[in-house]
């Protein structure tokens, strides 16, 4: 029988739920905190902020970091900013409006109570980070500066040049470092979680691999927190860092944690286009560029063809022959429409043949109008490092003078195309961020809860830090309150031995296949299948084909993989092989979910379900639920469990960014 | 349009900190010059694996120039470039010529022992931060962010200092293996802001003591660190660090 999911949403009006929860949750007294251990896996915004906060509260924290330092976590690459409902700009922002925009942006597929809480604590995050010394941009009066981001008509995004993620992560990392110094957090770098250990139905520890020695180690605790990010690298090419993987999450899924909304994969509209088959990853250009950049393709197909052949350049095309298609289709939001809308619109133009580079898979992001109005220096002030980065990669400096036509100066634009960026789906959690396994929590991108079917820009950082600083430290106490009675468990328990043995046997299996193909060659092939059949536009037929191809490729992986070296010592290929094994599970899960959801919403676009104008067509009557999946063994279709969604504070509407 | 180049790559192999280490040589053919340096190494590894050999180990992650993980000494320079800041992952093959010999080595510093091949252990940097590179602030107890007014110029300068990615190129380039540029960037960021001023003296003393304890050398103003820093950190930070240290000592 399928599990019944209890979301544990507190009673009462939506704006009061979190206050009520905090007033009544159980607490752990200071002496008892000293007796309780918590494992936090991951050191990104969510993991580092959680580990720092829990350590500071008095718990003993074991914190695992896959890289050599917590400062390398991929949160560091976030560029544009972090949202908060401060209304410092006096532009009508409020907690309710941030909540509303986030729910609407997520295509009404997020859990209302969680999103409201997120908006509510957003203001504390800014205060916390400023107190840490995060150098957010300031105005001349000394107050914090803000900018606008996609999906919102107010300026609520706080930023530190184009390196906001970096500065927020370094803030969390410094708080974490203080706790390491205070010996409240024990940090294990170059360690990776390989399995979660369940004792008497509760998560009581993990098996981790020391990536340098290759040895497996056992850690026990009173609770386990997974903060290991998303599964975007299933697609091979994505904006994620090379090390990003979903092994910890998939292992939890295999152990019985239900996985929610896997088909919600965000395709970010402003990435540097793919240029060759040797490419290892895609680079994002911050969405904040859309504040001053205008997106366009030629109006005339002949011009597009000439651009594709390299016969003319962007700056040869005069104003009247440019199609600023986002401004044309969505007058109210223009270039600031949410990411899913902007991505699909770019795909639509390129599918019709209007792409602007040699592959036909690119559109222009043009700063000419802003440079003419504000000057290049102002642009450099706002986006300097992004312009430099673009030049480094493509050899073109956006903002270099191109040509003057009819008295208008045109500058060299960027070329951009959508790419896999963020995964809204993740391990299912209740209001307390607890998974279906008691004692196992999931935070940040790793869980599913706050973004629905699409994430608005500058909201990932917000969720990571909200979960780590302001939500989990409260909710985990509600669980830990009675854990002093349960006491500590020994890592000598048979459950630990068994889990370790299984991980060890799995490494032997991968090493002993001794086939002919490298991990990367198979991973690239999986990525092609994902992009082709489970990518920006999906059909029932395509998804079935994709599933079949994935299944065949997984068999190829099991039969023909080659991993050099041994399991002793550092073996980067073996670690990648383990990740790839789990990307297969994840890829199929994304496809199953996409196939079951006969509607389009947010990052999930089924081509069969669209309006006449090509907009996503939701089906609230039949699919107004969180799609949760329970593992049923390798090769078997997982079982779908539904968590119905309820909205009290918001009226569910069709998303509209036109007026 | 990209053109293809061929070259010889000499790369450092070292099986653990106690191994003596040696260079291996490999011929690379027809590599598109819009390939990144690390993608070129991916191709190298693919070729090595196809020959049944173990891949060449190096640290890398974000490949966007921001995580600070990549750390290769290329043709005698950390990250392989000096004319403008860029990390190894943001180095493109168009910077090289057909027929070049490209030499790849690890960061060489006593404080950064080699783990394998070109992967080194930079945990010493974390220990320096743990010694005091933070403001002591409890979660949930901060005042409203705009209650601390900060002049824009100060915030901007603090941001420039905070941009340090902790990659360790400064240490690798320094003849003394000094970590002063790294330490001074963090100290400068916090010295420019009102937050955490109350613990400024403790911070600078503890961080410098830890730096010395971990075996990093002293600064003798050769400016090699500044020349190779992929984030253009300025040695003006080192002057500020010294001022902060003098202030701290005077307060004793």
The pLDDT tens digits of the residues spanning A48-69 come to 999 999 999 999 999 999 999 9
Q: What is the pLDDT of residue B251?
A: 86
CA-wise closest residue to B118 among B132, B105, B131, B101: B105
Selecting from A68, A143, A564 the residue whose C-beta is nearest the C-beta of B121 gives: A68
Question: How far, in Å, CA of B229 to CA of B169, rounded?
Answer: 6
Question: How far, in Å, CA of A58 to CA of A85, rounded?
Answer: 30
Residue A1 confidence (pLDDT) above 80: no
| pLDDT tens per residue, range A436-494 | 999 999 999 999 999 999 999 999 999 999 999 999 999 999 999 999 888 899 999 99
Q: Reduce the DSSP state of residue B89 to 3 states and report it.
A: helix
- Contact of A448 with A424, CB cutoff 8 Å: yes
CA atoms within 13 A on the CB side of A274: 17
Tell me the chain B residues in contact with residue A124 when contact means C-beta distances shorter than 8 Å. 140, 142
Selecting from B16, B59, B84 the residue whose C-beta is nearest the C-beta of A68 gives: B59
The residue among A55, A130, A419, A510 with the most chain B CBs within 10 A of its CB, best to mutate, is A130
Residue A418 confidence (pLDDT) above 90: yes
Q: What are phi and psi of B209, to 5 degrees?
A: -60, -40
- Find the residue in B nearest to A76 (Cα): B67
Residue B54 confidence (pLDDT) above 70: yes
Question: How far, in Å, CA of A114 to CA of A603, rounded?
Answer: 20
Q: What is the pLDDT of residue A149?
A: 84
Q: How far is CA A115 from CA A98, A120, A138, A429, A463, in A?
A: 9, 9, 28, 13, 9
Question: How far, in Å, CA of B87 to CA of B67, rounded?
Answer: 10
On average, the pLDDT of chain B sits at: 95
Q: Is the pTM of this model over 0.90?
A: yes
Take residue A591 and report the two structure tokens written for it: 């496809």
- Contact of A420 with A232, CB cutoff 8 Å: yes
> Which of A72-86, A118-132, A146-160, A414-428 is the least confident region?
A146-160
Which of A147, A202, A290, A339 is catalytic? The answer is A339
Selecting from B1, B57, B62 the residue whose C-beta is nearest the C-beta of A74 gives: B62
User: At A659, is the pLDDT very low, low, confident or very high (cuts 50, 70, 90)?
Assistant: confident
The residue among A22, A138, A472 with the most chain B CBs within 10 A of its CB, best to mutate, is A138
| pLDDT tens per residue, range A505-564 | 999 999 999 999 999 999 999 999 999 999 999 999 999 999 999 999 999 999 999 999
Take residue A29 and report the two structure tokens written for it: 């007294």
Interface contacts (A, B; CB < 8 Å): 224
Quick one: average pLDDT of A117-142? 97
| CB-CB neighbours of A625 under 10 Å | 16
Please judge whether B135 and A133 are an interchain contact, meaning their C-beta atoms are less than 8 angstroms apart: yes
Q: What are phi and psi of A193, to 5 degrees?
A: -75, 130
Please judge whether A127 and B131 are an interchain contact, meaning their C-beta atoms are less than 8 angstroms apart: no
The residue among B5, B47, B129 with the most chain A CBs within 10 A of its CB, best to mutate, is B129
Q: What is the pLDDT of residue B1?
A: 62
CA A256 to chain centre: 22
Question: How far, in Å, CA of A269 to CA of A142, rounded?
Answer: 33
| pLDDT tens per residue, range A296-315 | 999 999 999 999 999 999 99
Q: What is the ipTM of this complex?
A: 0.98
Take residue A238 and report the two structure tokens written for it: 């994505």
Tell me the chain B residues in contact with residue A141 when contact means C-beta distances shorter than 8 Å. 149
Any bridge partners for residue A268, and if so which?
A419
User: What is the percentage of chain A residues whose pLDDT exceeds 70?
Assistant: 100
- Contact of A75 with A45, CB cutoff 8 Å: yes
Please judge whether B162 and A167 are an interchain contact, meaning their C-beta atoms are less than 8 angstroms apart: yes
Distance from CA of B16 to the nearest CA of A (A): 9
Q: What is the number of residues in chain B? A: 252
Question: How far, in Å, CA of A583 to CA of A58, rounded?
Answer: 37
Tell me the chain B residues in contact with residue A564 when contact means C-beta distances shorter than 8 Å. 49, 52-55
Q: Tokens 């309820």 appear where?
A: A646
Please judge whether A395 and B34 are an interchain contact, meaning their C-beta atoms are less than 8 angstroms apart: yes
Task: Please list the helix, strand and coil fractions of chain B in percent, rounded to the nearest 5, in that order.
Answer: 40, 15, 45
Q: How far is CA A475 from CA A57, A443, A463, A467, A470, in A?
A: 13, 12, 15, 10, 9
Take residue A53 and report the two structure tokens written for it: 């906060």
Would you tell me the crossing angle of helices A519-533 and B37-50 to the nearest 10 degrees? 120
Pairing verdict, β B101-105 and B4-13: parallel
Pairing verdict, β A414-423 and A401-405: unpaired
Q: How far is CA B57 from CA A293, B3, B115, B120, B121, in A?
A: 40, 27, 9, 10, 13
Q: Reduce the DSSP state of residue B119 to 3 states and report it.
A: strand
Distance from CA of A131 to the nearest CA of B (A): 6
Distance from CA of B185 to the nearest CA of A (A): 13
**Residue A339 appears among annotated catalytic residues:** yes
- Contact of B67 with A241, CB cutoff 8 Å: yes
Take residue A377 and report the two structure tokens written for it: 């220096």
| pLDDT tens per residue, range A441-456 | 999 999 999 999 999 9
- Find the residue in B nearest to A284 (Cα): B64
- Contact of B180 with B153, CB cutoff 8 Å: no
User: At A385, is the pLDDT very low, low, confident or very high (cuts 50, 70, 90)?
Assistant: confident
CA A185 to chain centre: 26
Residue B14 confidence (pLDDT) above 70: yes
């Amino acid at each position: 029988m399928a599990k019944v999911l209890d979301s544990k949403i507190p009673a009462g009006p939506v704006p009061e739920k979190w206050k009520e929860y905090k007033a009544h949750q159980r607490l752990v007294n200071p002496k008892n905190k000293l007796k309780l251990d918590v494992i936090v896996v991951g050191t990104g915004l969510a993991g580092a902020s959680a580990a720092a906060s829990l350590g500071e509260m008095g718990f003993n924290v074991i914190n695992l970091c896959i890289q050599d330092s917590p400062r390398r976590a991929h949160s560091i690459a976030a560029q544009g900013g972090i949202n908060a409902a401060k209304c410092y700009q006096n532009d009508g922002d409020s907690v309710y409006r941030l909540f509303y925009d986030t729910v609407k942006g997520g295509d009404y597929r997020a859990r209302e109570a969680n999103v409201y809480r997120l908006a509510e604590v957003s203001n504390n995050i800014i205060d916390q980070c400023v107190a840490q010394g995060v150098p957010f941009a300031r105005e001349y009066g000394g107050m914090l500066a803000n900018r606008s981001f996609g999906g919102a008509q107010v300026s609520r995004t706080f930023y530190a040049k184009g390196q906001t993620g970096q500065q927020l992560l370094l803030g969390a990392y410094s708080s974490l470092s203080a706790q390491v110094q205070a010996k409240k957090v024990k940090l294990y770098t170059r360690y990776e979680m390989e399995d979660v250990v369940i004792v008497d139905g509760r998560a009581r520890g993990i098996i981790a691999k020391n990536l340098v020695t290759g040895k497996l180690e056992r850690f026990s605790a009173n609770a386990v927190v997974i903060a290991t990010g998303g599964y975007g690298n299933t697609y091979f090419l994505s904006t994620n860092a090379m090390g990003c993987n979903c092994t910890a999450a998939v292992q939890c899924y295999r152990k019985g944690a239900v996985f929610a909304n896997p088909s919600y994969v965000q395709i970010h509209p402003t990435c540097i286009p793919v240029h060759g088959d040797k490419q290892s990853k895609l680079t994002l250009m911050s969405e904040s560029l859309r504040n001053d950049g205008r997106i366009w393709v030629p109006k005339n197909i002949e011009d597009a063809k000439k651009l594709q052949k390299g016969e003319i350049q962007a700056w040869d095309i005069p104003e009247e022959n440019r199609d600023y298609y986002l401004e044309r289709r969505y007058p109210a939001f223009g270039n600031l429409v949410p990411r899913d809308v902007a991505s699909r619109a770019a795909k639509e133009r390129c599918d019709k043949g209007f792409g602007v580079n040699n592959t036909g898979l690119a559109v222009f992001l043009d700063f000419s109008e802003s440079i003419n109005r504000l000057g290049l220096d102002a642009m450099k002030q706002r986006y300097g490092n992004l312009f430099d980065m673009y030049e480094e990669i493509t050899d073109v400096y956006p903002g270099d003078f191109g040509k003057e036509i009819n008295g208008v100066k045109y500058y060299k634009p960027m070329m951009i195309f959508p790419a896999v960026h963020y995964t809204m789906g993740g391990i299912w959690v209740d209001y307390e961020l607890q998974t279906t396994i008691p004692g196992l929590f999931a935070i940040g991108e790793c869980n599913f809860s706050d973004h629905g079917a699409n994430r608005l820009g500058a909201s990932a950082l917000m969720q990571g830090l909200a979960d780590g600083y302001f939500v989990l430290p409260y909710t985990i106490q509600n669980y830990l309150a009675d854990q002093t009675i349960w006491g500590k468990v020994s890592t000598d328990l048979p459950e630990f031995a068994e889990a370790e043995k299984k991980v060890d046997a799995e490494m032997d299996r991968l090493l002993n296949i001794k086939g002919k193909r490298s991990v990367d060659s198979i991973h690239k092939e999986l990525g092609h299948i994902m992009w082709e059949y489970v990518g920006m536009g999906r059909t029932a037929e395509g998804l079935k084909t994709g599933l079949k191809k994935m299944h065949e490729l997984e068999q190829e992986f099991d039969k023909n993989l080659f991993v050099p070296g041994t399991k002793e010592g550092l073996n980067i290929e073996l670690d990648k092989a383990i990740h790839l094994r789990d990307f297969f599970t994840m890829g199929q899960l994304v496809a199953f979910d996409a196939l079951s959801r006969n509607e389009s919403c947010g990052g999930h676009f089924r081509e069969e379900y669209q309006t006449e104008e090509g907009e996503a067509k939701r089906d609230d009557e039949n699919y107004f639920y969180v799609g949760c999946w329970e593992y049923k063994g390798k090769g078997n279709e997982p079982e779908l469990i539904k968590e119905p969604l309820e909205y009290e504070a918001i009226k569910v509407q069709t998303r509209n960014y036109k007026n | 349009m990209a053109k293809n180049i061929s070259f010889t790559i000499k790369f450092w192999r070292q099986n653990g900190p106690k191994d003596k280490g040696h260079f291996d040589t490999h011929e690379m053919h027809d590599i598109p010059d819009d390939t990144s340096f690390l993608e070129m190494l991916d191709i190298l590894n693919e070729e090595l694996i196809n020959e049944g050999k173990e891949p060449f180990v190096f640290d890398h992650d974000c490949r966007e120039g921001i995580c600070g993980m990549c750390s290769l000494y290329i043709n005698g320079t950390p990250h392989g470039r000096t004319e403008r800041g860029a990390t190894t992952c943001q180095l493109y093959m168009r910077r090289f010529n057909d027929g070049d010999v490209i030499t790849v080595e690890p960061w060489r510093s006593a404080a950064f022992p080699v783990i394998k091949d070109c992967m080194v252990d930079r945990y010493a940097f974390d220990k320096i931060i743990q010694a005091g590179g933070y403001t002591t602030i409890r979660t949930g107890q901060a005042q409203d962010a705009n209650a601390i007014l900060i002049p824009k110029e100060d915030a901007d300068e603090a941001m420039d200092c905070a941009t340090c990615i902790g990659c360790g190129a400064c240490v690798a380039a320094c003849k003394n293996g000094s970590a002063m540029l790294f330490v001074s960037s963090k100290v400068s960021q916090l010295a420019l802001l009102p937050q955490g001023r109350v613990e400024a003296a403790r911070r600078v003393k503890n961080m410098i003591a830890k730096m010395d304890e971990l075996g990093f050398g002293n600064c003798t103003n050769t400016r090699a660190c500044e020349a190779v820093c992929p984030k253009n950190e300025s040695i003006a930070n080192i002057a500020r660090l010294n001022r902060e240290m003098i202030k701290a000592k005077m307060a004793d």
